Amino acid sequence: MRYLDEEELQLASRFLFLSMAMVVIQQDLQHIQNGAFRIKEPYSELLEKMNTEAANERRGLRKKMLNKDIKVISLNKNDSFSSFLFLCRGREEKRNYFNPAIRKKVENILRELMQKALQPYQHHASANN
């Protein structure tokens, strides 16, 4: 049964998956810094811009969530599913996500962030052609 309305659920879900995407970005930055990349800077710069975009968006989401008294709590995780509790003004809703579906959602957010981070480069590159 649904206890949160669509807007509340979208807000909390976006915050959750965006936070997961930020963890992936930070881990990838570590892999680049510690890895065998010959030229690390372009990759690091892209990931840092993606992280900045994500952090700015998440800050806005956190403010909206605070105003609406929305919280997301991780409950448990196994090989197949992850469970989260969404709280909003005394109402709560438990949601189970299939881990491959989480991965796909995070991947889509990473693609969005990559496009946002690359926009200045794309504009600059097309101006030079």
Question: What residue spans define the domains of the chain?
Answer: 6-128
pLDDT, tens digit only, all 129 positions of the chain: 568 889 999 999 999 999 999 999 999 999 999 988 899 999 999 999 999 999 999 999 999 999 999 999 999 999 999 999 999 999 999 999 999 999 999 999 999 999 999 986 555 444 444
pTM for this structure?
Answer: 0.89
In the chain, alpha helices (H): 6-34, 41-68, 99-128
Q: Cα dihedral angle (121, 122, 127, 129), rounded to 10 degrees?
A: 110
What is the Cβ-side half-sphere exposure of residue 74, based on CA atoms within 13 angstroms? 10
Using CA atoms of 59, 115, 42, 121 in order, give the dihedral in degrees to the nearest 10.
-110
